[in-house]
Amino acid sequence: MKKDCMKELIKAQQGEYDAALMYKALAAKVKREKDREYFMKLAEDEERHGQILQEYTGKVLVGKKKLSIIIPKLLAILGREKIYKLIAKGEYDSADKYRPFIREFPNIEIIMNDEIRHGDAVMDLLIK
């Protein structure tokens, strides 16, 4: 595997674990049970994504707490609508970043599809 490709996969793997911690922190903070349940499901998915990427990178990583501290605080300040839209955008952006890797790493398509589904689901939380 090329060095720059490995670097991008490790960065993505770290991002998945960071997102898992963020979703767990959000689940602990939100008031609506539906939001809490879905954020816990997203955390599980993000951890699974990190494990899929670990199969390719061979690196054992753990999540960094930065997002899990900042995003819940921003939720309290800016509100659900702005933060949920920001989270959904992050999920959609992640999906786009995975697209170039699918040919060489087929399981990344699973992650990419999940990221789109996550973005849609977070936006749906604003409607329902």
Q: Which two tokens stand for residue 37?
A: 């349940």
Q: What is the pLDDT of residues 39-67, one digit of tens each?
A: 999 999 999 999 999 999 999 999 999 99
How far CA 46 is from CA of 4, 11, 128, in Å, comes to 23, 14, 23
2-42 confidence digits (pLDDT tens): 889 999 999 999 999 999 999 999 999 999 999 999 999 99
The span from the CA of 18 to the CA of 50, in Å, is 9
Distance (Å) of CA 71 to CA 19, 57, 65, 68, 76: 10, 28, 10, 6, 9
Task: Return d(Cα 17, Cα 120) in angstroms, integer.
Answer: 20
Helix ranges restricted to H, the chain: 3-29, 33-57, 66-78, 80-98, 108-127
Enter the pTM of the model.
0.94
Q: Domain of 49?
A: 3-127
pLDDT number for residue 3: 86
Domain containing 60 — which CATH number?
1.20.1260
| Contact partners, residue 1, CB within 8 Å, separation at least 6 | 9, 56
Instruction: Tell me the C-alpha distance between 121 and 14, whole Å.
Output: 22
Number of domains in the chain: 1
Helix 66-78 vs helix 3-29: crossing angle, to nearest 10: 50
pLDDT per residue over 68-111, tens digit each?
Answer: 999 999 999 999 999 999 999 999 999 999 999 999 999 999 99
Instruction: State yes or no: pLDDT of 128 exceeds 80.
Output: no
